[in-house]
Amino acid sequence: DGGITQSPKYLFRKEGQNVTLSCEQNLNHDAMYWYRQDPGQGLRLIYYSQIVNDFQKGDIAEGYSVSREKKESFPLTVTSAQKNPTAFYLCASSIGKGGTYEQYFGPGTRLTVT
């Protein structure tokens, strides 16, 4: 999984609770991303960050928050405002955001909210 660690692999939470998903990379990549994967919908971008202390909303940022205090780490918080949080969450990184830089994906975290 290309030097990207996501933990835990499975996560269960009660509705109304915030939950934070971990993403760490040791590839020395500048850019990091969070995607959500649902059956039949492909990968949808939640947030991305090109440098430390800077991040931008993707296509479906509502109900999510991120931080980028260290180059290696890009945690995602799924808040209680996210209406349908149960999904497979993927973290990715690339050398940079532009051009044809390959995105390397982590193994994912499957979040189930009941």
Partner 1 sequence: QQQVKQSPQSLIVQKGGISIINCAYENTAFDYFPWYQQFPGKGPALLIAIRPDVSEKKEGRFTISFNKSAKQFSLHIMDSQPGDSATYFCAAKAGNEKLTFGTGTRLTIIP
Is the Cβ of residue 57 or residue 70 nearer to partner 1 in the bound state?
Answer: 57
What is Dmax (Cα atoms) for the chain?
41
Q: Kindly tell me which residue out of 15, 41, 53, 114 binds partner 1, with binding defined by CB under 8 A.
A: 41
* H helix and E strand count, the chain: 0, 11
How far, rounded to the nearest angstrom, does the alpha carbon of residue 86 sit from its chain's CA centroid? 14
Q: Kindly tell me which residue out of 87, 108, 111, 113 binds partner 1, with binding defined by CB under 8 A.
A: 108
Least distance to partner 1 from the beta carbon of 92, Å? 7
Q: Which stretch binds partner 1 (CB under 8 A): 14-22, 34-42, 64-72, 73-81?
A: 34-42
Least distance to partner 1 from the beta carbon of 56, Å? 9
- The label of the residue with tokens 């915030």 reads 18
Phi-psi region of 80 (alpha: psi -120 to 50; beta: other; left: phi over 0): alpha
Do 58 and 76 contact (CB within 8 A), yes or no? no
| 62 touches partner 1 (CB under 8 A) | no
Query: In this structure, what are the phi and psi dihedrals at residue 32, rounded to the nearest 5 degrees?
Result: -135, 150
| 16 touches partner 1 (CB under 8 A) | no
In the complex, which residues of this chain contact partner 1 (CB under 8 A)? 1-2, 4, 40-45, 48, 58, 90, 92, 97-100, 102-108
